[in-house]
Amino acid sequence: MEAAVFQPFLDSIQKELQAQDPAVLAVLVALVVVIISIIFMKIVWGRKTTRSAVLLVGLCDSGKTLIFSRLLSGKFKKTQTSITDSSAIYNVKSEKVTSQTKGRGFTLIDLPGHESLRPQFVERFKSAARAVVFVVDSAVFQKELRDVAEFLYSLLTDAEIVKNAPALVVTCNKQDITMAKSAKVIQQQLEKELNTLRVTRSAALSTQDGSTAGGTVYLGKKGKDFEFSQLPMKVEFVECSAKGYKAEDGEADIEQLEKCLARIS
């Protein structure tokens, strides 16, 4: 039946080709080339925009590089302040190894947390992020609360991150220290602080026409107190201890984090 539909079409094309009108031929050839190149470009660009990276971000000294090492190899490594990013392929560990879960992995990228390097690295990698693991040092959280909140605010109001809405896992690290705050407490304090930051940072949205320091996004809902559930992305709070509760070479307690990552991928 399709052949019957196409037949008169093909006949007309054949007639035109036989007429040997160079202009028509040229137009046809050009159209074909354009269509092929568009399809090609779509494939190439489409591949680039698949977001397959999980970013490890956080303040300086929060334990990102050690978590990176533990997730990938399970070993404890001494670390120094990172100057540049490190990346590796992470294969998800899951209990049931079926044909679906085997081989499912993503790129784990560890970004430096130092204040002068942070913006440019986040800028470089944010478009490729499928999930963001935000590492918080639970022991000194009270002192660093405002810095943590500011970094989190700048992440959450970034235009590209709001568009992609990657899952956010806030990891409360260093739980092995006795004075570490729990994930619930950290969540409450962050909500309060972000509530205040909304006011100081975004009150001038209507009158600005130059480039603004923060994004042009208002966190959460106006009129109500900020809560993480109001965000367009999925937010989870987990606790972990990259160093481990025993001696240096002991096991790290990152099970919750691994489960989270498994759920994301």
Partner 1 sequence: MLDFFTIFSKGGLVLWCFQGVNGSFTGPVNALIRSVILQERSGSNLFIHDALSMKYKLDNEFELVFVVGFQKILTLTYVDKFLDDVQLRFRDRYKNQLEQKGAMKLLNGSFQFQDDFQQLLREAEESTKACAPAPMKTFMQSQKSQKTVKSMIETRGGEKGKEKESNKKSKNAKKEASAAEGDGDSTRGGTQSGLPKKSSPKPQENGNEGLTPEEIKRNQQEFFRRMGGGGPKKPSSSSSSKSPKPEKLQRVKGNREWVMGGTNTKELDYSNKDMNGSQDTLPATKDNAEDLKQLGQMKGDLRSVDYESSEEEEEDEEVVVSAAAAANPSKSSSKSFRGVFGMLKGLVGSKSLSQEDMEPVLDKLRDHLIAKNVAADIASKLCESVAKKLEGKVMGTFTTVTSTVKQALQDSLVQILQPKRRVDILRDVMEARAQRRPFVVTFCGVNGVGKSTNLAKISFWLIENGFSVLIAACDTFRAGAVEQLRTHQRRLNSMHPPEENGGRPRVQLYEKGYGKDAAGIAMEAIAYARSHSFDVVLVDTAGRMQDNAPLMVALAKLIAVNMPDLVLFVGEALVGNEAVDQLVKFNQALADHSMSDKPRIIDGIVLTKFDTIDDKVGAAISMTYITGQPIVFVGTGQTYSDLRSLNARAVVSALMKA
Least distance to partner 1 from the beta carbon of 127, Å? 14
Q: Rounded to whole angstroms, what are the CA distances from 238 to 170, 178, 233?
A: 6, 17, 16
**Residues between 142 and 201 with contacts to partner 1, criterion CB under 8 A:** 146-147, 150, 196-197, 200-201
Q: Which of residues 24-83 bind partner 1 (CB under 8 A)?
A: 65, 68-69, 72-73, 75, 77-83
- Kindly give the pairing relationship between strand 105-110 and strand 86-91: antiparallel
Looking at the Cβ atoms of 2 and 248, the one nearer to partner 1 is: 248
In the sheet where 167-173 sits, what is the strand order?
86-91, 105-110, 53-58, 129-137, 167-173, 235-239
Residue 87 interacts with partner 1 (CB under 8 A): yes or no: yes
Site for partner 1, residues 213 to 252, rule: CB under 8 A: 213-214
- Contact with partner 1 (CB under 8 A) among 12, 208, 216, 230: 208
Q: Which residues contact 26 (CB under 8 A, 6 or more apart)?
A: none
In the bound complex, what is the minimum distance in angstroms from residue 74's beta carbon to partner 1? Answer: 9
Q: How far is the CB of 243 from partner 1 (least distance, A)?
A: 13
Nearest approach in angstroms of CB 76 to partner 1 is: 11
Nearer to partner 1 among residue 60 and residue 233 (C-beta): 60
C-alpha–C-alpha distance, residues 82 and 79, integer Å: 8
Near partner 1 by CB under 8 A: residue from 11, 16, 115, 251: 115
Give dist(CA 90, CA 53) in Å, integer: 10
**Cα–Cα distance for residue pair 11/9, rounded to 1 Å:** 5
Per the document, the length of the chain is: 265
* Residue 102: other Cβ atoms inside 10 A: 12
- Give me the residues that bind partner 1 (CB under 8 A), please: 65, 68-69, 72-73, 75, 77-89, 110, 112, 114-120, 146-147, 150, 196-197, 200-205, 207-208, 210-214
